[in-house]
Structure 1
């Protein structure tokens, strides 16, 4: 597990940088700040930074995480992962690069990015609210610092510490993303477009895309970021019933519908189950005159 002096993690209690672990016997397994706050790595390799009351938000369950891992591991969204990685790799400096995957989930998107960025070997951070997801992510991306964290709280990273932030189907905290991004950095956001998985949603009870979502996103970003580019990504899907069930269950629907209920709605379906992922990839640059 990596931990070196150049990593810019902040203690979630006092906001001081962690001390270099050096040759300490617990190097890579324990983080200690100058005030003595200490965090030990979980057996799977991630750190849980949520302290005190933790968070009021509902994390993905172990079953939802398993469904996401299975679906993404089969490569269905590989075109998306490749596009996200390409948007990041082109802006990384040759040395000293660092990336943050906010809402890293099971880590598959970050894995593709790190593989494509191998020439620059960036430091990497993966944040997610679900410890179940981080167990997967830490095994898949052992070179990254994988942290259980609530994205709505101040991020445990120093100001101007990363060259890219990626946010794939995850909450967005524009003010904090702007703070941790370096001036020449990029924020890469992926959101669903109208009609995303419409065929599957109609059969399984998945949540529909909210009207006006694009306008709200633009308004939220405007104070801190300028839009550099926007591109649509369409991925035709041809799935087994089990894969279609995983896809429906791994998203927000999983919080209000059990996997069994979704599977029941798809029972007897003729295979392949077809659908189309309709996505938007947005690349932002830090605003020249950030909001105060």
Structure 2
């Protein structure tokens, strides 16, 4: 993701929406040694973790749907990894040559866990809906599939399930279902990284 900073700027100002632990923002900042970052999340515990995620990142408690606490046209990149997207706000805060990097799961993401843990499936039309929701404000520059296999233990599986939309589906029997899985358990990570720029 660090390569998606426009145009290969190492001193970029980067914001991550729905930053969670700040892991992805920290990864981008590591790849761009002079870049500065802002992590935004609606969760107080998440913001506390984000504040410690990287020395060049600040953390802000805010709801992107109510507005990002950033001036117009000052950010070089906005990251959105599995988080809701407010296209109007992102377009407002990006520079004219800024980049909006969106990471979404594919149908194969965590596929080996869906049946045994009664998890929610990823909608087959997710990419088309994403393009439609952003099309008025953003131009798609590239779309890159990323897929690999993870070897997860039971604790990892619990964390993965709790981070997504399946957190409350089948929760009453989840621990027993997880305990029945072999350890380590091979699970597919499958995402699409889409890079957009604001329309002129």
Of residues 123, 126, 141 in structure 1, which corresponds to 2:39?
A: 126
Higher strand content, 1 or 2: 2
State the structure with bigger RCO (CA 8 A, min sep 6), 1 or 2: 2
User: TM-score scaled by structure 1?
Assistant: 0.65
Q: Structure 2 vs 1, CA of residues 269 and 284 (structure 1 numbering), >3 Å: closer, same or farther?
A: same
User: TM-score scaled by structure 2?
Assistant: 0.93
Q: Structure 2 vs 1, CA of residues 94 and 214 (structure 1 numbering), >3 Å: closer, same or farther?
A: closer
Q: Give the conservation status (yes or no) of the 8 Å contact 1:232–1:279.
A: yes
Matched, 1:102 2:14: no
Structure 2 unaligned runs (5+)?
none
Matched, 1:175 2:88: yes
Matched, 1:252 2:145: no
Q: Give the conservation status (yes or no) of the 8 Å contact 2:120–2:166.
A: yes
Per-residue CA distance 1:118-139 (angstroms, 9 max, x = gap): 1xx2231110111111111111
Per-residue CA distance 1:97-150 (angstroms, 9 max, x = gap): 3111111110111111111111xx223111011111111111122432201111
Report what 1:187 is aligned to.
Answer: 100
SS in 1 for 2:9: coil
How many residues of Structure 1 are paired with residues of Structure 2 in the alignment?
200
Report what 1:23 is aligned to.
Answer: none
Q: Give the conservation status (yes or no) of the 8 Å contact 1:233–1:278.
A: yes
Specify the structure having the higher radius of gyration (Cα): 1
Per-residue CA distance 1:35-86 (angstroms, 9 max, x = gap): xxxxxxxxxxxxxxxxxxxxxxxxxxxxxxxxxxxxxxxxxxxxxxxxx223
CA distance in 2, matches of 1:261, 1:142: 40
Structure 1 segments (4+ residues) deviating >3 Å: 92-95, 255-258
SS in 2 for 1:254: coil
Report what 1:152 is aligned to.
Answer: 65
Cα RMSD over matched residues?
1.7
